């Protein structure tokens, strides 16, 4: 941590900062420059029980100093996340998902192979789900997506079938041997959803629902953590850190677009997040071009772009009859469109030396 | 709802839209323009159980049409919220809060008087809370704020004293006769927090935590609903609609800044939201300049600006010794600064013909 | 254009709108819905001299109506650009650039082949430019980029060599047979820059410098129009419309990232703009991953993502010794890094059935 | 400047940074922390001719270092602007405008009094301008606004009357004794516009039109510099620095809203910029609530909010018949609305101990 003093600050201001640091067991080293003094703060001991204390310095100490007289700003030197950081865990994390249908019995997300996850936005009926599952499996999907609990911006929108939807997903798993990914929206549902699902999805609106993060952190279930719609990369990794800190290391990040001033697309997909996450973290990252764009005609190109940028998987909405979908029909591919996408996706994966997991 | 067809669309495309509308009990009226056809969709019956069906048209129908061949876009005519809308409820809502300390025994938020809510960001100790409560009451605050459950971006940050903090708040209430506002973060805590608090606060990260909104909607407790950090005004009113739709009409909106590209302030306070909400809705709106700016030196000017723009109340962080605060010290006023702010705030209120609630 | 009246509007309000429309030679058709009246406005004659009058309706008429009593909002049906629109010009535009070094003598941007443009951010010296030109040509670039007039956020930053830089670029062209792209910053420089350059670049800060757009519109030089850092897709196409309306049809769009709340990257590259532009417009689009990310380590992945999404070309900063660059060193590739990128880029192009223009 | 090394960096990386600094006449002081090394860079000599060299360190040096191996990030200690900074110029700048109509013959912007500037968005006709001028002067405006050269997002929109409009403005000045503010859009027009106008306005789209900033910097005319619609406060002050660096010290900043995700308002007015600018800079700042909101019904509240936050002036669009305006009618006040606003504005000014300049 580095404390930058104002050009107009005086000795007393500097002393007050040094005294405050001392009270918190830290030592400051002032250097006088041409224009201003800066105080370097190194070392220190973190709060017991935290993994190394985030560089030894409690984040709120910096905030308090920022408000002290004569202080211009406080610059942070260390990253605020640790378990999620590649610096402290250089090897790639591979999250294993049991997939009966695959010959090896499981699929690794974050390894050399790319994973296709597809299915309807929302589980609407047995027929809709089974038709879609069979079709996407045939084209190469190994994980089946489908929402049973759905966040809806409007209280009058469709909010999903609930546990009934989970049962249909379990049925599809037993019938087709695919793994199941589905969203969990509240801490008290974690145990129930975990019974039916292979991967718990945390949606964009819940990326900072800390009680929910705590709860999925206490399981060992793989978790797909979607980026909050206005979350910085750092906040996203801090949300992952919540889950990791509770002992669940099976975290997969998912880029799904951020909110910008552009109005034609629902969100602006931040493709650069994919290589950035690979640099900053050891965790796998997948892409959701359906939510990321909100437009069916962009799902294909953004799937290919994600793959070219190094994504570990795709999460794609497919519906046998999107015009009849109860939710997000405009962004769902038809089965035919999904069928056309797969060979293109495989060609891009192959161009960067990867291939899709196959049965 | 209006469906705009592409210039290149054909008769068959138009027919498909009309057929789809028919299936959902709606009638489309096509008009051919110079360049393109538009289809007006009027009337229709909403899903039973919803208040009037939001103009009679299920929002997902528009989304589905948007993905159909030959369709350029779908323009919504009606607002998606109803109970929160001033169009359907022209009179101002006044939310009554019991405040023993005030002579009338209660305070109305949203009426002609402005309400000052102040206190520490986070309850840290009995002494900190009592000192602050006494001081802010003396200057004119009638509602005491203080977090017992705190969202923290980092898992290693301070997350509040929990129920212990609630007990201290209740003690402050019984000692000083002020009403208590405190945050509730998860549905299972709603009952417990309601025992201690007079106003439940929903934080910015939980504005779209729908299960939590459902739960506070089932109580009759006044709720302060903070704007999500990247929520549009419409989404914010839809979140209020969740609470209202469950029967709790005691909703107070709170502008607390939105996320923009600016880096010097933590958030950009959207002061224009105050008069806009007054136009679009009948609900009261208050302002949180502490979270809204993240900088102590801006809390005063932004309090005055909020008042001039018509806010119904202020929610201000005050700490007896902000440099020692366990959370958000940089944005807390000292007691002395709060004391200086009050007469300025009163002068602005008076300039627009309002005054602060007084004991 | 559709005028949506407030639920509370009355007959007189509707009449006032109809009268206003009549004064401007337009006819409104009111329809009464369950909740409110909407007025459809079709046809009408545009201002003489404009290409068809943008659906026949002057944009400011809608703005005026939006402020009239009883009016809720005005919905636009037609797109505000015409010459740039694919609806009115379905065939792809291919912009031809003379490139002596290529066997056919020219290169088409927007056709089946992809074009590599590379070179230093800024022309610094003859040696720097020649070394880079030779190296990037060897790897497959056919167009040489290099700034002679540079926008600098700080008045104390390097602003380029000016005409001296242009002369060096011309020398590189005559020596290596590559075409030259360079920025023009102000209308009075257009003639001079046109003497030396094959493509005029309009930078992000000048996307809405209308006098400059007018001026390049009066030439027949190919123009690369960078997206404004906070421009919507629609505003970008309207800026292109300025150039097209003056008779210069040789417009190439360039996605270079937009401004969001994310701080790790300089900009957020909007890869979805590539397929969107292909849908909305017939104009070619290229990508600038150097400006788009501001980080050398992201240039490779974002180049590949752009190609997978369908870009017609890449504009990449390469410097023989980026640590010594006078500008934007952090985002320039070394020659070695550029050499490694080319075969990867070719593999992605090939995966989607395209190839790079070659000598 | 502080260079933060990666945890994984080695001695060689540190040496390379030190060597690079040495080449540029700078000395680095490495400190080894628990996790990583940081290098403090103090002093150094700026490029000759620049005012003190911006802390002595050329901004591009930091950028180059950011790309070097083993470097995590570069933290800037000094602000990049100097002439605009309050640190180096603690006293408030007051910009004097000659106003014949005022008894003292001039008005100071940035002093204790607040200045009202009002008039039509665009000069449309003699009658429109004279009617408006007379009316706003009667209510208390001392400066008349009116656009002769107008930026229009669409090439088919109205772009103003040009020099004819300037002549009408000059006529209004001679008739009513008010000062004139009008926009200049391109460097070659600066001399001509300066003949007619008392204040040159640089519009939001031209905030980073550096050639234009250079040109107005070479005059001594007062300049109102509007904030770019996506400009950070720092970039805005750097744009002001351009003008100041050329010797023109008569710079007035103008907050006019920034671009966010919100769609109901045209822009989001950043009221917090007003007190922030007062902290960071000695320059005066005024507010434009017409452009800042795009909605007539918000102009009043946002004017009052700006005053409460400390603005030095207001720039308000008024039109005798806004429904007939050729541009931006929806955001123009009627004369009657302006008349109602003035006493409210005066009441707020008075509440914070200021008053409006009066004849």
Do the Cβ atoms of C37 and C5 come closer than 8 Å? yes
Name every chain A residue with its beta carbon within 8 A of the beta carbon of C305: 271, 305-306, 308-309
Q: What is the mean pLDDT of chain D?
A: 92
Q: Is residue A82 part of a domain?
A: no
D152 contacts chain C (CB < 8 A): yes
Instruction: Please tell me which residue of chain A has the smallest CA distance to D33.
Output: A42
CB atoms within 10 A of CB C115: 27
- SS3 state at D177: coil
**Pairwise CB contact (< 8 Å): A77 & D260:** no
Lowest mean pLDDT of A118-127, B174-183, B249-258, D44-53, name the range.
D44-53
Q: Which residues of chain A have pLDDT under 50?
A: 44-56
**Pairwise CB contact (< 8 Å): A77 & D38:** yes
**Pairwise CB contact (< 8 Å): D188 & C185:** no
Same domain for B142 and B69, yes or no, is no
Tokens, residue C71 = 């009016």
CB atoms within 10 A of CB B111: 17
Q: Is residue A240 part of a domain?
A: yes
CA distance B82 to B75: 18
Same domain for D109 and D32, yes or no, is no
Q: Which of C4, C31, C261 sits opposite B260 (nearest CB)?
A: C261
Read off the CATH number of the domain in which B290 is found: 3.20.20.70
Q: Are strands B2-5 and B37-42 parallel, antiparallel or unpaired?
A: antiparallel
pLDDT at C274: 98
pLDDT in tens, B140-158: 999 999 999 999 999 998 8
C177 contacts chain D (CB < 8 A): no
Q: Are strands B223-226 and B313-317 parallel, antiparallel or unpaired?
A: unpaired
Question: Between A335-351 and C335-351, two packed helices, what is the crossing angle to 10 degrees?
Answer: 150
- SS3 state at B17: helix
Bridge partners (DSSP) listed for residue C39: C3, C30
Instruction: Please tell me which residue of chain B has the smallest CA distance to A330.
Output: B67
pLDDT at C48: 34
Q: Which residues are CB-contacts of C134 (< 8 A; sequence separation ≥ 6)?
A: C176
Q: Which residues are CB-contacts of B291 (< 8 A; sequence separation ≥ 6)?
A: B204, B226, B256, B257, B266, B267, B317, B328, B331
Q: Is residue A83 part of a domain?
A: no
Do the Cβ atoms of C287 and C270 come closer than 8 Å? no
CA distance D17 to A265: 43
Task: Tell me which H or E stretch contains A12.
Answer: helix A11-23
Domain boundary among B75, B109, B137: B75
CA atoms within 13 A on the CB side of A209: 26
C235 contacts chain A (CB < 8 A): no
Q: Is residue A87 part of a domain?
A: no
Which D residues 50-89 touch B at CB under 8 Å? none
Q: For the residues of A168-212, what is the DSSP string, one character each?
A: HHHHHHHHH--EEEEE--SGGGHHHHHHH-SEEEEPGGGTT-HHH
What is the pTM assigned to this prediction? Answer: 0.94
pLDDT in tens, C94-118: 999 999 999 999 999 999 999 999 9
Q: Is residue A350 part of a domain?
A: yes
Which A residues 92-111 touch B at CB under 8 Å? none
Name every chain C residue with its beta carbon within 8 A of the beta carbon of B257: none
Q: Give the domain extent around A232.
A: 95-356
Among candidate residues D58, D69, D72, D73, the one with its CA nearest the CA of residue D24? D58
Map tokens 């050891």 to a residue: A282
Confidence band of B45 (pLDDT split at 50, 70, 90): very low
**Pairwise CB contact (< 8 Å): A35 & D2:** no
Give chain A's length: 359
Buried b (16+ CB within 10 A) or exposed e, B132-164: bbebbbebbbbbbbbbbbbbbbbbbbbbbbeee
Map tokens 């509370």 to a residue: C8
Same domain for B142 and B266, yes or no, is yes
pLDDT at D328: 83
**Pairwise CB contact (< 8 Å): D40 & A42:** no
Q: What's the domain count of chain B? A: 2
Bridge partners (DSSP) listed for residue C29: C40
Spatial strand order of the sheet with B27-32 comes to B27-32, B37-42, B2-5, B71-75
Same domain for C266 and C322, yes or no, is yes
Task: Tell me which H or E stretch contains B280.
Answer: helix B273-280
Map tokens 């700042």 to a residue: D285
Q: What's the whole-number mean pLDDT along residues B99-123?
A: 96
Tokens, residue D192 = 């001509």
Tokens, residue A358 = 């196959």
Q: Which is more confident, C56 or D168?
A: D168
Same domain for D58 and D117, yes or no, is no
Map tokens 């030894």 to a residue: A56
Q: For the residues of B156-204, what is the DSSP string, one character each?
A: TS----THHHHHHHHHHHHHH--EEEEE--SGGGHHHHHHH-SEEEEPG
Q: Which of C232, C309, C347 sits opposite A304 (nearest CB)?
A: C309
Q: Which residues are CB-contacts of B343 (< 8 A; sequence separation ≥ 6)?
A: none
The dihedral sign for the CA sequence B246, B247, B253, B256: negative
State in Å, rounded, how far the first CA of chain B is from the last one.
50
Name every chain B residue with its beta carbon within 8 A of the beta carbon of C257: none
Tokens, residue D16 = 């390379």
Q: Is residue C359 part of a domain?
A: no
C49 has a pLDDT exceeding 50: no
D42 contacts chain A (CB < 8 A): yes
pLDDT at B88: 84
Chains in contact with A, where contact requires at least 3 CB pairs less than 8 Å apart: B, C, D
Name every chain C residue with its beta carbon within 8 A of the beta carbon of B36: 77-78
Do the Cβ atoms of A72 and A4 come closer than 8 Å? yes
Question: Between A59-66 and A11-23, two packed helices, what is the crossing angle to 10 degrees?
Answer: 160
Instruction: Please tell me which residue of chain D has the smallest CA distance to B276.
Output: D298
**Pairwise CB contact (< 8 Å): B297 & D274:** no
Q: Is residue B80 part of a domain?
A: no
Name every chain B residue with its beta carbon within 8 A of the beta carbon of A206: 209
Tokens, residue C318 = 């390469």
Cα–chain-centroid distance for residue C260?
Answer: 19
Same domain for B57 and B169, yes or no, is no
Bridge partners (DSSP) listed for residue D268: D258
Map tokens 């002596």 to a residue: C100
CB atoms within 10 A of CB D270: 23
Name every chain D residue with its beta carbon within 8 A of the beta carbon of B297: 275, 279
pLDDT in tens, C118-163: 999 999 999 999 999 999 999 999 999 999 999 999 999 889 999 9
CA angle A229, A231, A232 (to 5 degrees): 140
**Pairwise CB contact (< 8 Å): A188 & B187:** yes
Name every chain C residue with its beta carbon within 8 A of the beta carbon of A268: 258, 260, 268, 270, 272
CA distance A169 to A181: 9
Same domain for D71 and D100, yes or no, is no
Question: Testing the interface with C: which of A314, A351, A353, A355 to mutate, by most C Cβ within 10 A?
Answer: A351
Q: What is the mean pLDDT of chain C?
A: 92
Please, where are the H alpha helices in chain D? 11-23, 53-56, 59-66, 126-139, 163-176, 190-196, 210-217, 233-245, 273-280, 289-293, 296-308, 335-351
pLDDT in tens, D25-40: 888 888 887 778 888 8
**Pairwise CB contact (< 8 Å): D42 & A31:** yes
Same domain for D205 and D314, yes or no, is yes
CA distance B317 to B145: 8
Name every chain C residue with its beta carbon within 8 A of the beta carbon of A269: 271-272
Name every chain A residue with its beta carbon within 8 A of the beta carbon of D26: none
**Pairwise CB contact (< 8 Å): B43 & C29:** no
pLDDT in tens, D124-144: 999 999 999 999 999 999 999
- SS3 state at C115: strand
Bridge partners (DSSP) listed for residue D122: D147
pLDDT at B300: 98
Same domain for A8 and A156, yes or no, is no
Same domain for B106 and B13, yes or no, is no
**Pairwise CB contact (< 8 Å): B75 & C2:** yes
**Chain D nearest C-alpha distance from B201 (Å):** 23
Instruction: Please tell me which residue of chain B has the smallest CA distance to C73.
Output: B77
**Pairwise CB contact (< 8 Å): B29 & C31:** yes
Instruction: Please tell me which residue of chain C has the smallest CA distance to D258.
Output: C230
Q: Which of A205, A206, A329 sits opposite B63 (nearest CB)?
A: A329
Do the Cβ atoms of A54 and A234 come closer than 8 Å? no
Same domain for C9 and C134, yes or no, is no
Among candidate residues D317, D284, D306, D287, the one with its CA nearest the CA of residue D123? D317
Same domain for D184 and D134, yes or no, is yes
pLDDT at B293: 96
Q: Is D260 exposed, middle or buried (0-12, 13-18, 19+ CB in 10 A)?
A: buried
Read off the CATH number of the domain in which C39 is found: 3.30.70.1140
Name every chain B residue with its beta carbon within 8 A of the beta carbon of D260: 258, 260, 268, 270
ipTM field? 0.93
Do the Cβ atoms of B273 and B256 come closer than 8 Å? no
Which C residues 109-138 touch A at CB under 8 Å? none
Cα–chain-centroid distance for residue A296?
Answer: 22
Counted across chains A and D, CB pairs separated by less than 8 A come out at 60
Domain boundary among C75, C105, C123: C75
pLDDT in tens, C253-288: 999 999 999 999 999 999 999 999 999 999 999 999
Q: What's the whole-number mean pLDDT along residues B255-267?
A: 96
**Pairwise CB contact (< 8 Å): A272 & C301:** yes
pLDDT at A52: 36
**Pairwise CB contact (< 8 Å): B263 & D232:** yes
Given 3-state DSSP classes, what are the helix, strand and coil percentages for chain C, each rounded to the nearest 5?
A: 40, 20, 40
CB atoms within 10 A of CB B354: 17
Q: What is the mean pLDDT of chain B?
A: 92
Domain boundary among B13, B47, B75: B75
Do the Cβ atoms of A322 and A311 come closer than 8 Å? no
Q: Is residue D90 part of a domain?
A: no
- SS3 state at A96: strand
Q: What is the DSSP letter of D81?
A: -
């Amino acid at each position: 941590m580095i404390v930058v003093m104002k050009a107009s600050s005086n000795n007393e201001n500097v002393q007050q900062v040094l005294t405050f640091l001392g009270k918190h067991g830290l030592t400051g080293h002032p250097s006088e420059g041409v224009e201003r003094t800066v105080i370097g703060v190194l070392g220190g001991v973190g709060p017991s029980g935290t993994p190394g204390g985030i560089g030894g310095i409690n984040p709120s100490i910096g905030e308090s100093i920022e408000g002290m007289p004569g202080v211009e700003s406080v610059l942070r030197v260390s990253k605020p996340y640790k378990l999620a950081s590649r610096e402290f865990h250089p090897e790639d994390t591979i999250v294993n998902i049991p997939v009966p249908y695959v010959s090896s019995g499981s699929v690794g997300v974050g390894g050399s192979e790319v994973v296709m996850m597809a299915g309807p936005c929302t589980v609407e009926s047995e027929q809709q789900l089974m038709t879609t599952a069979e079709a996407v499996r045939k084209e190469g999907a190994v994980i089946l997506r489908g929402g049973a609990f759905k966040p809806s911006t409007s209280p009058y929108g469709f909010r999903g079938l609930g546990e009934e939807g989970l049962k249909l997903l379990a049925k599809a798993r037993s019938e087709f041997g695919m793994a199941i990914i589905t969203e969990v929206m509240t801490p008290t549902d974690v145990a129930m959803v975990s019974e039916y699902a292979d991967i718990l999805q945390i949606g964009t609106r819940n990326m900072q629902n800390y009680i929910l993060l705590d709860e999925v952190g206490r399981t060992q279930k793989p978790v797909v953590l979607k980026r909050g719609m206005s979350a910085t990369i750092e906040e996203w990794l801090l949300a992952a850190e919540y889950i990791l800190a509770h002992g669940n290391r099976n975290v997969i990040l998912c880029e799904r677009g951020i909110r910008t001033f552009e109005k034609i697309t629902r969100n602006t997909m931040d493709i650069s997040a994919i290589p950035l996450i690979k640099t900053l973290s050891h965790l796998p990252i997948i892409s959701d071009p359906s939510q990321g764009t909100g437009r069916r005609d962009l799902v294909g190109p953004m799937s290919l772009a994600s793959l070219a940028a190094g994504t570990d998987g795709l999460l794609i909405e497919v519906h046998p009859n999107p015009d009849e979908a109860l939710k997000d029909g405009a962004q769902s591919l038809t089965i035919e469109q999904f069928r056309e996408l797969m060979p293109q996706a495989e060609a891009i994966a192959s161009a960067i030396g990867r291939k899709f997991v196959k049965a």
